[in-house]
Amino acid sequence: MKDNKILIFDTTLRDGEQSPGASLNVHEKVEIAHQLAKLNVDVIEAGFPISSPAQFEAVKRIAEEVDCIIAALSRANEKDIKAAAEALAPAPRKRIHTFSSTSDYHILGKFGHERYGKTLEEKRRTIIKMSYDAVAYAKTFTDDVEFSAEDAGRTDIGYLAEVIEAAIEAGATTVNIPDTTGYTLPFEFAAKIAELKKRVKNIEKAIISVHCHNDLGLAVANSIAAVQSGARQVECTINGIGERAGNASLEEFVMALNVRKDLLDFYTDINTKEIYNTSKMVSAFTGLLVQRNKAIVGENAFAHESGIHQDGVLKSRETYEIMTPESVGIPKNNIVLGRHSGRHGLKVRLQELGYKVTDEELQNVYKAFTELADKKKEVFDDDLRMLMGDEIQKDNG
């Protein structure tokens, strides 16, 4: 693998499906997994098999049918890992993804019982041992084992380095640094990754991955910052869906790398022309609507309404577009006609509808158009046909 390739680990079917309000049946998960393979992601995290029979079944079906590295999640215990291994068994390329909680918030909140140790320090030692044992056990099923330090974003760097080192010693081939609560800032997260590279013995034996949540709207920015510090796998979801405010959005991260190649010397193998189809499918199946102004895939992402913008884009796209809609699989940009639109946008739309207008006719119809646009949010094609009426001759030639 080239050193500037960034692996895309898609967790739409696991973390994404954990979005409040989203749930997918087995058939829908399998369909999405096929589409993710078409999008050419490197790893598909298909689910959390121990969590329910349907989850187990979905992971198994995806492992049987979809040609990609298929990952399944497990906590750091034998029962979970065994379930993940069983569900993944049919996959020619499989990854067990196991995780432990490492921040003091999580350790005290989830491992309060004395059997994990009486003091925080004792509990921390227990977690290191659990993590080591979990990775070693997962390795008995597959060589490809990922370890995640949950809430790494809020974990003390010295302790985090110890946990990651233990996971690598046990055989983890990917070590994931999640910002589980979306708490970190880009420069801080970048420094954390750089510090781990310095502190962890044998860090070069594993791929450093990041998994950023979006509670402060920084998931994509944090992922980019981490890549600049040496992370080579980014975990993300389609449309940025996921727990609470969601995960890093796959389409935003990938297109940021593509569009800003001048400053970011990294690439992914994503077939960007499949982005829009995938976004539509995930939205339809989960029932989670994409906000209109969402970057890359929102309805307005390539729409232009104001006269100045329409005129600029119609003369030369680059004036207001930093990427083409076609590059993400959207057939063309959208000139939305409304109260801010100008004559140029109106004229082009009329031509698209088959009307050939003289300058004088355009003046007249533009006046009628602005009066109508003041009363409506958007002026549709049928409104224009009505406005044209007998006033302007239709030219079908």
Binding residues: 15, 211, 213, 247
Smallest gap from Cβ 15 to ligand KIV, in A, equals 5
Chain centroid to Cα 78, Å, comes to 30
How buried is residue 238: exposed, middle or buried, by Cβ count under 10 Å (0-12/13-18/19+)?
buried
Smallest gap from Cβ 153 to ligand KIV, in A, equals 9
DSSP helix/strand/coil, 334: strand
Measured from the CB atom, is 152 or 362 closer to ligand KIV? 152
**What residues line the site for ligand KIV (CB under 6 A)?**
15, 99, 148, 150, 176, 178, 180, 211, 213
Pair 376, 340: CB distance under 8 Å: no
341 binds, among Zn ion, ligand KIV, none (CB under 5 to 8 A by kind): none
Q: Which residue's Cβ lies closest to Zn ion?
A: 15
Pair 206, 170: CB distance under 8 Å: no
17 binds, among Zn ion, ligand KIV, none (CB under 5 to 8 A by kind): none
Smallest gap from Cβ 101 to Zn ion, in A, equals 12
* Half-sphere exposure of residue 135: CA atoms within 13 angstroms, side-chain side: 28
**E runs forming strands in the chain:** 7-10, 43-47, 69-75, 94-101, 145-150, 174-179, 207-212, 233-236, 303-304, 334-335
Smallest gap from Cβ 183 to ligand KIV, in A, equals 11
Q: What share of the chain is helix, strand, coil (3-state, %, to 5)?
A: 50, 15, 35
Measured from the CB atom, is 19 or 272 closer to ligand KIV? 19
Binding positions for Mn(2+) = 15, 211, 213, 247
148 binds, among Zn ion, ligand KIV, none (CB under 5 to 8 A by kind): ligand KIV
Measured from the CB atom, is 174 or 310 closer to ligand KIV? 174
Contact mark string toward Zn ion, 12..41, x via CB under 5 A? ---x--------------------------
Measured from the CB atom, is 17 or 311 closer to ligand KIV? 17
Smallest gap from Cβ 157 to ligand KIV, in A, equals 17
Measured from the CB atom, is 15 or 162 closer to Zn ion? 15
DSSP helix/strand/coil, 306: coil
DSSP helix/strand/coil, 332: coil
Smallest gap from Cβ 149 to ligand KIV, in A, equals 8
Measured from the CB atom, is 178 or 329 closer to ligand KIV? 178
> d(Cα 284, Cα 58) in Å, to the nearest integer?
18
> d(Cα 44, Cα 83) in Å, to the nearest integer?
17
> d(Cα 138, Cα 75) in Å, to the nearest integer?
11
- Give the interface with Zn ion as residue ranges (CB under 5 A): 15
